[in-house]
Structure 1
Amino acid sequence: MKRDYYELPQSGAIMRFLWKCAGGDRYLLERSTYSDQIKYMCLGGIVFATGAMAGLAGGYAFYTIFEKRGSAIENPVDLNTVFLALFFGIIWGLMIFNIDRFIVTSTGKGDGTEAITVGELKSALPRILMGMIIALTISKPVEIRMFKTEIDIKLREKQLEQQAEYQAKVDKTFADREKLLDKEFGSIAEQRKALIGRIEAAEQAYTDNLMGKGEKVPAGNGPLSKALKSQLNDLERQLDDFDKQNGKDLIELNKRKDELRVAKESERGNNEKIANGLDGLLERIKIAHEVAGFWISLFITLLFMAIELTPIFFKLMLTKTTYDYLAENRDELLKADNGIEVKYDYYKDKQGVEKHLTINHEAERIIFEKIKVTEIQKELTEYAIQKYKEREKKKIDDNLDDFIKPVE
């Protein structure tokens, strides 16, 4: 806007967009000072940057939650989840941007001085709490992205530990189930196991004798070797007879053991899948705290809180400028146009706090008209009733016998 004593530079599209982000009135800002324009542009820049960071953080958090689970080190990018994360990030960023915009525009200037009083802090406390919550939601996804390499290494170690722990549990569980199975078939399995042990011992003794490993026994197929061979053959015949006598039970036992082995291998195959499931957002946040430590994690959170809360404290510290007086003048003109009168500090409430008296002249005029019309309507109704009464009296005077008839 050009004046004889002061000329404002022309505002650009970016500046006007940032004014909107800060909830500034373009009409008034173009008639204010350049410092007012810069203040609201910077304020809008912070709000827009917060919304953009919230969108990025929300999108990354969404991708971390819904990506396909795999090794923390070798985990390829899933394009479908990327597109969904982009969509969610845009929605989340716009939502946080809208909330921030509301917080900034609803935060007044307090007492209009640079000092922030206790009363101003109390009035701004709900907005400060909202800003702190938003800052936390932004800082955590950004934190896990900053330390992604360290988190991936630590997470892979936990996955391998989980895999080994799960495999040990599987082995123990199936070993216990196999023991219960042997117990279920009674002494059959134990007898056969003992018999097989004797056969293995006899085979070893026969082999050692043939090779001359025994003390003072020459190698070769001598009398002792033949006796051991005869003993081995006898044990094998005993095993065949035992299997024939208990064939059905042994077949059932072996069948169920085979089923157990198949189930065990199947569960072992799930080890990696289950371990890779340890790759959620919560686990990454926990590891980020372990990797970064308390102070670094706190510093990152405080940094985002500072960015988020800056516009609130910024507005509380602003002094009244040309823009504020123009805004007050605009508000008073709008009130006057609509017949609204405010008498400031007109009375004190029960707590001694000064209150404004608001008079709505247009509403009072309409109410006054309604009251008067009602009063006139009452007068007209009373007059009509009086006239009706006079007319009925005249009828009685003219025709008395029509109204009163004697009883015969």
Structure 2
Amino acid sequence: MDSELYQSPKSSKFMRLFWKAAGADRFILERSTYGDQIKYVCLGGIIIATGVMAAIAGGYAFYTIFAPKGNAIDSFKTVEGVVGDYDPTDIPTALISIVFGIIWGAIIFNIDRFIVTSTGKGDGTEAITRKELVGALPRIIMGAIIALTISKPVEIRMFKTEIDVALHEKQIQQQQAYKANIDKVFNSEIEKKENSIKKTLDKIAALELISTERKANIAYETSNGDCKTKCIEFKQQLAANEAEIASVKNDPEYIKVKKELDELEVDRNRKLKESDKVSAGLDGLLERIKLAHEQAGWVISLFVTLLFMTIELTPIFFKLMLIKSPYDYMEENIKELVKADKGIEIQYNFYPDGEGHERDNVINHQVIKVLKEKIRLLEAQSELSSNAIDRWKDKKLHDIHQNPDEYIKEA
């Protein structure tokens, strides 16, 4: 706007970017006041900031869900062998999370942009009336949902240290409970198998005790250098005892049960080794959100959620509270000029509908013009066709009068 009284300030690329994010018309803003320009810069800045926060939150949530699971508190050794508390990042998952975060941020940015641009300015005063609030309610609900999706991942990142400690304790408890359950199940089976061969095991134990005694006797006699009669007798008893042990152990039923016991022991050890995977399964997004609420308390958790909800809903209430300014009047003027140029006439509150609401009557003059032209063209074509048929008829009648035999054939 150039005049003797005022000259609109020139806009920068930075300002035009924010205007575009806010859905404002650059042509009008460059001819409007500085106050209008700043209002839409702030509005666009909030929308862009929300999109960026959504991208960060979405990427972090994606990484938390799909990253390899492990202990909440992992340790590592550096090249020098010093133990640290660094949690190594899974690069492939991180790269995918970045891509997902960018897509998610773009989605939220466009939804916010649509919500803000589709929200009217109400009655053009600072007061938000009940009618304006009801009209904006669907947009407020959508904004609140978006704020929740952004706040929760950010919340678990804010309290990550406390969550990791609490989660590590839960993982240990889960691991111990899993091991206790495995031991309970397998010990019961092992006990049944051992009871079925208890007599055989007791006999083997007794025979092995005798073998131990005989070996001690032989060693004693040998150490005295006098391994003659007694030593030979002890060796014979030991050989007979060992043969009996071998005979007992070669019993088919004993061999079968012993094999089953060995298999149970191997299976139990394998299951116990899986306890780390079971406990690592707790390291998910839902569990971290629960722990965030427990560690931070409902007051702080609510405060964080309300903070993001305020940021998300501010543009909506901001537009409802805007007072009409030169930008709004110029925008309305341009809209009316465009409608006039396209031959569109609106008669406001022209007729009531069945529910008692006043409806506008929209008249499209260009459409009416084309329709009238089309109707006249069709009428002219119809008239010409009718005349042509009449002339053809007269010609045929004349030909019949001149030469009727040409048109009459004898049977």
- Distance in 2, Cα, partners of 1:368 & 1:33: 45
| Equivalent residue number for residue 244 of structure 1 | 247
Tell me the equivalent position of 1:65.
Answer: 65
Determine the C-alpha separation between the residues in 2 that align with 1:327 and 1:235.
Answer: 112
Question: 2:308 maps to which residue?
Answer: 304
Q: Distance in 2 between matches of 1:244 and 1:29?
A: 103
| 2:375 aligned residue | 371
Q: 1:236 to 1:363 in 2, by over 3 A?
A: farther
Q: Partner of 2:114 in structure 1? A: 102
Deviations 1:146-200 (A, max 9, x none): 11111000000001001101111111121122234346xx4xx121233356568
Give the 5 Å matches for 1:257-336: 257-336=261-340
TM-score (norm 2): 0.85
SS of the residue corresponding to residue 355 of structure 1 reads strand
1:65–1:404 distance in 2 versus 1, CA, 3 Å: closer
Gaps of 5+ in 2: 75-86, 215-232
For 2:32, give the aligned amino acid: S
Letter in 2 for 1:134: I
- 1:78 maps to what in 2? 90
Answering whether residue 181 of structure 2 is matched by residue 169 of structure 1, we say yes
Shift of 1:288: 0.6
Matched, 1:157 2:169: yes
Query: C-alpha distance in 2, partners of 1:267/1:256?
Result: 16
Task: Encode CA deviations 1:230-261: one digit per residue, 9 max, x unaligned.
Answer: 9xx99996785365156142233323322222
Aligned with 1:92 (options 83, 101, 104): 104
How far apart are the structure 2 equivalents of 1:38 and 1:238? 102
Quote the Cα distance in structure 1 between the aligned partners of 2:104 and 2:361.
Answer: 42
- Take 1:378 and 1:67, find their aligned partners in 2: how far apart are those partners? 76
Distance 1:388 1:288, change over 3 A: same
| CA pair 34-252 structure 1, distance change in 2 beyond 3 A | same
Identity %: 53
CA contact (8 A) 1:198 1:235 kept: no
TM-score scaled by length of structure 1: 0.86
Contact preservation (8 Å) 1:192, 1:239: no
Match of 2:92, SS state, is: helix
Which residue identity does 1:257 align to in structure 2? L
- Quote the offset at 1:120 in angstroms: 1.7
1:110-259 superposed matches below 5 A: 110-182=122-194, 186=196, 189-196=197-204, 241=244, 243-245=246-248, 247-249=250-252, 250-259=254-263
Describe the SS at the equivalent of 1:347: strand
User: C-alpha distance in 2, partners of 1:381/1:334?
Assistant: 41
The residue matched to 2:88 in structure 1 has which SS? coil
Which sections of structure 1, spanning at least 5 residues, go unmatched? 207-229
Which residue number in structure 1 is paired with residue 48 of structure 2?
48
Give the match for residue 9 of structure 1: 9
Distance in 1, matches of 2:238 and 2:185, equals 34
1:88 Cα deviation (Å)?
A: 1.7
- In 2, the alpha carbon distance for the partners of 1:133 and 1:362 equals 44
CA RMSD, 1 decimal: 2.6
Aligned with 1:329: secondary structure?
helix
Give the Å deviation of 1:399: 2.2
Q: Report 1:359-398 matches (<5 A).
A: 359-398=363-402
Q: Distance in 2 between matches of 1:305 and 1:244?
A: 81
